[in-house]
Structure 1
Amino acid sequence: MEETERVVWTGEWVAERLGVSLSGGDELPKLLGLALRRNPKRAHLLVSNVLGKHVPQRPGVVHGAGVGLGRRVRELLGDEAAARSVVLGYAETATGLGHSVADGLALAPYLHSTRRPVAGVPQVGGFEEEHSHATSHLLLPEDRDLLAGDGPLVLVDDEFSTGRTVLNTIKALHTQFPRERYVVVALVDMRSDADRTHLEEFAAELGARVDLVALAAGGVRLPAHVLERGRELVAAHESRTVASANAPATDVVRVALDWPAGLPDGGRHGFTPAHRERLEAGLPAMAARIAEHVDGARRILVLGNEELMYTPLRLAEALDNQLADTTAGAGAAQAGEPGPPADGAGVYFSTTTRSPVLAVDDPGYAIRTRLAFPAHDRPADGPGERYAYNVAAGADPARRFDAVVAVVDSYGDLPELHAAGGLLDRLAEHTDRLLLAVIPAYVPRSGASSEASPPAPSEHRGRAADETASSHTPQRQVRSMHLPEPLRGPAFSSYAPEEVGWLLQDLSDVTLEAPTEEREEAIQRGGAHYAESLPVEYQPSDQYQALFHSALQTSASRIARAVGAVTETVLAERTKNPVLVSLARAGTPVGVLMRRWARHAHGLELPHYAVSIVRGRGIDTTALRWLAAHHDPADVVFVDGWTGKGAITRELAEALADFPGFDPRIAVLADPGSCVETYGTRDDFLIPSACLNSTVSGLISRTVLRDDLVGPDDFHGAKFYRELVGSDVSRAFLDAVGARFADVSEAVAADVKELAAADRTPTWEGWAAVERISGEYGIHDVNLVKPGVGETTRVLLRRVPWKVLAQRGAGADLDHVRLLAEQRGVPVEEVDELPYTCVGLIHPRFTRGATGADGKAVAS
């Protein structure tokens, strides 16, 4: 009986096979287990039972361990010195531990290193972690003086194995921010005697005092050839990963936390005592919103995400408190007692990680199961695999979690998160209830200094910015300077965050789609405006997708040449500091390409935004006020993909009449209608970005303007179709065109000279042609005549077309039009004397009741 009740140390498996052992007090096996990892520098991994990284643990234990260490540091320093201290945690493993230590110090601000560079936020320091698989650490505080004080610097890591990371940190920071005292904090101190001596000698040379605080101390005994033997063991067991649970996937429920506005999501850019007070005040309500969806689950896991450890930890702790009266065993585990409740029930906490570790489903091994999935935050070091350990139950059903709450920041709420094989998909196989809570990724004020990064929130801009806004904007238009901020990828759109800032609001959770026939009938009868709903997104067939890729390869150089010509014309004739503002959504890929050309040809990083303009209702005035508050309106250059008959060109000019300072002249890639004077070409040819809808436009819908959704100080809306990530070719389109920039440079130079010498005065030839066609075909509404390849494509994808007029002899540029027309049963009529390659016609007498032999709606 005693043998069966023996608590198995989670380092036994490694110790028996590799000969690795721990030396030190009896507390070490309670705090640490052992595992093997794929790392050429260290074969073994010390796995903490109280850190909340690889091993799910009760949140009170995890937070309590850090708070307890912080209190010991405060006792060591004294209240006066502790009040002047700054706490620095290490990414990714110790971000939550360091934050908890700062809680124990009570008044200390907190900062953790990061491996995520943030556009526009200058780096104030960095260092290397020599044994790690991802070594570079960045320090990106919002307040550059955060580390400049003379108080003690408290450095927190989960373990100290050699002390070299701390040494590198102190060496990097001491030259810039010298101080007299450092305190090193860890859960366990596992350094050798030589490593301890090395740190002492270094501190003496530095002329600073270095103290050490840890829960336990000891060492690791490593036999000879441990790296080689470790690699052999990993290779022998690597393929034994967690298989699918062979159960129906669980639906994901998104929980709205109502995160406090402006509160940092963690310590990446600094976290002050004032921030701590706001978080503490908001935690109970946020935990209550999660509790509403756990449906009485007995065993719950709150899963953080890589560096995002602290706030998920605190949510887990608050949730545990919320469920204390109804969840069996809740609150049973106390700080410093790493064991779970006897029956295993309650709320647990752990996080995903970059670290590749071998999983072996054995009670004597620390990493029992592993879920692998692609990174979903588009990391700077490229795509890679990420892991969630001990989340799947493996062979022991008692370890299964009834509910899992995945917590990510908005930077990680990308299509990859939701895709097949992504984190949510893997989690759904192993739990009954899967919740997703997204915390807004904090954008620091220092980011406003970079035009390529998201501007600072309006409440942080200060008086100078407001005065600038006033100088450019009539007072009657400035209802409030607390305007919304741009949305950026990857949280909104599949474009990189620096490529475009969307001056839109996210309506992804609103049902706006209606069948095409119903929309057309309502629009033509005057019962609805086209911008009040969305068409169902066209799902291209394999044949159509192949046509798109073929067209892209054929026309990429032609598009690149037009991009270069229009960008160079803007730089030469409009402004030396253009702020590109695309008309969403057709203009957005063109704006991104123009930005890329400016960087390629001139090393310029142009700011780029996308705004909504709606025919018959004008441009988004809130977006204009935002632009006037952040940029000189004279520098704003509006960008669109192409012109048809010029309706939007006229709409923009009329809308800007009340906004002095903005130039209404649009720059377009192609101007077949002869409606503008700034263009790359006037040829009407196939621009592949016109072939598709959201899947070539960053997965963003057409814009929406509806009174019940858009208030007077709101941006117009749009949806982010995350679920279409498998069909997304947005970046493929941009990259294919950008790859031709160098090849067309000489041709662009010649085109620019020719454009400079030409008379580019708009003739409005396209408008005249549309009026003629409207009369000839008995339509008598120019809005139902859509000229040009791009507009005809839109008719076939989004409206109910009547027929297509094609220029006699038109070639491959119309292959996709002919294919779409065939799929929708629309006749293609070849005509002479057509100034466009093709024109799409919408019949003015459309009714839903009339159908053809094939059952499709037709004109009556």
Structure 2
Amino acid sequence: MDKAVNDGSDRGERPVRGEGPYRDEASARGEGPYRGEASARGDGVWSGSWVAERLGVALVGDDTLTDLLGLALRRNPKRAHLLVSNVLGKHVPQSPSVVYGAGFTLGRRVRDLLGAAGARTAVVLGYAETATGLGHAVADGLGDAPYLHSTRRPVPGAARAGGFEESHSHATSHLLLPEDPALLAGDGPLVLVDDEFSTGNTVLNTIRALHERFPRDRYVVVALVDLRSAADQGRLTDFAAGTGARIDLVAAARGTLRLPAGVLENGQALVAAHERAAAGDPARGERGAPSGAGDGRIARVDLSWPAGVPDGGRHGFTAAHRRRLEAALPAMGARLAGALPPGARRVLVLGCEELMYAPLRLARELERLVPAADVRFSTTTRSPVLAVDDPGYAIRTRLVFPAHDDPADGPGERYTYNVAGGDFDAVLAVVDSTADTPALHAPGGLLARLAQHTPHVLLAVVPSYVPAAPPACERPAMLSEPLRGPAFSSYAPDEVGWLLQDLSDVTLEAPTEEREEAIQRGGAHYAESLPVEYQPSERYQALFHAALEESAARIAHAVGVVTETVLAERSPRPVLVSLARAGTPVGVLMRRWARHRHGLDLPHYAVSIVRGRGIDANALRWLAGRHDPRDVVFVDGWTGKGAITRELAAALREFEEAEGVTGFDPEIAVLADPGSCVRTYGTREDFLIPSACLNSTVSGLISRTVLRADLVGPHDYHGAKFYRELAGADVSTTFLDAVSARFDEVTDAVGAAAKELLSADRTPTWEGWAAVERISEEYGIHDVNLVKPGVGETTRVLLRRVPWKILARAGAGPDLDHVRLLAGQRGVPVEEVTGLPYTCVGLIHPQYTRGATGADGKAVAV
């Protein structure tokens, strides 16, 4: 099956009891490899029946599936239900041999699938936080495969090799931080491991992001359970065909999760009702009252962890690391066994969020050395789940405590489940040194909470692995000074300085259809080429000028409000740094307002930011060398779903960690914020900003920015082109002058609006992101990058991409005249819909294929 998806169904791989992937020494002891802790304390009732009965959720499959999984409810606005694995070692305390055996045997199946040659060149990637231990065990089963897991913990000095989004998760952003930058760059198979494969969105997002940078011929997706619908299975097949790579699937069990209509709302209501009932009863969800048996002291156990061996796969774990750890495990296990209280019958080894593999291996060693004790393993988590003390519910109890590992998302609650009421004689908490903080030991911290429910609490600390610092790079003594007009751009030299390199002599343009196909197939990043510049018809140019006349005062008002907000809240003398190129006309207008109303001559620069690649670090270095980063205000034209807002925040965190430069504020100032993604804006209305109607001819004749390895070196700014040959069609200054001419007439209104805005609650709601996710699912796109919300983004779709259809808010007026004209010229349907939070949304088909044609002979998406 070349270049296709293989799910193993034709090989009879569905596991059966007694012959499946969990046979190990636990089975030999007669424990039964599928026995979940919650079920063991009950009466044999399936630990998903409570949710199934109340919400109508159905888990359809054989006994293997229901033995592997229970159900619970979580506090998550994106997904109400939680599939609770009985063999993952996250929420349900389980025999460490069963947990490790589940992953190890899946790894053996992958090794058989790939053959000896494929197994030798494979790399395994696990998902944070639930599958970090599972992925590591799969890598062990595969043989000598190196292992890396994604992380939600930024690490100072660690360079980011990529990242992706897990849209349904409680915490969505994943980072990839390998110590060896070549780890993901090989051409061998990439094995992606997650605990469940429910829709396939996360895997698709991962492969799409990695294939763009590190294309390869083969991927293997591994999960404990595969619950995809028939439609989702077909989507992965189509995706594999589009990338030209083969994608295989290996799962321990398969089935279907059937969700009735309204399950999200009904689940949230059920959670709310139970939490209201528990509000007056702090002990609810912690079976019985705390024992208070602990004496308040925590006994530390010195592991003597081998120096240089990583605590897990956050930065990569090699075959050499594996051999050293295996050699050290017996001695570390003996130290733990010697620290247990005499006669301990039941012992829990508790890992810490992403730190699953090291505690799991220690627990398995303890299980081997102390056969008389019932040793169990589970891990703390950041996922908020409702606890219900019922045999038919998978999460019987929960403990709540403050985060103690200096998380990127700030202080918050963390949880451990099914530990209270577990009758453990001792709990051994295993954390890495980063998480061994005062918060861990504080009253109400994890250790204190555990001491309320067990007479003995032990603590073992694994040293957090610190990647080796790369060799110091030689940097040029001085970065280039900004480019300025008229040599670069048609703007006056004092209006803006471009922190870019001039690529005007390089041919970068490609036909729109060709670019679209290359981008969606993963063969090219959108910033590696340029679309052919759209040259407007006379009718379209007339539309632009009419729109400018109609909206100039409205834009002037928004410019004034955002500038006054910046001066009042951010800095009395801000340094404006626009995100090229849509932000640059706005930055020029803000500079003009500050000079016109306050006599301020503000510095203004334009820099490049690229989705998926971050902001130009050399431009940041230049800015930090000449200005106080605290004065820098990043400026953009408008927000859509907020992707650039997120990209900027992540890029600045990475720059701060790598360079040690602090002070850059990731909060973008925008003219319009229809997506409710930022706090600093001129308006949150979605209306026509005429600078969105055109490309370079309204942006100083500058192209989109370019980032390509053969053109942009490590010491270069990102690039762009100056289209001098389009000077005859240039309306950049016309646009600026038309808006600036209306400043005086809107001054009073701006003052009142800015005063009101400064006292208002402007907390972003991210409703735009939620709307985009909903539209993506409703229209079967399943990739938020192909949904472009708002008038500005929709115009870009029509000018630069291959559009599928346009969604227009019912009754939208002249703001959409240019959209309707462009759509008509390209044969793109405009569909009016009700309840749209934006004036319009542009959709790009996720599987565009050049050469397919419609009845009119034009290329279409298929």
> Structure 2-normalised TM-score?
0.49
Which has the greater radius of gyration? 1
What TM-score, normalized to structure 1? Answer: 0.49
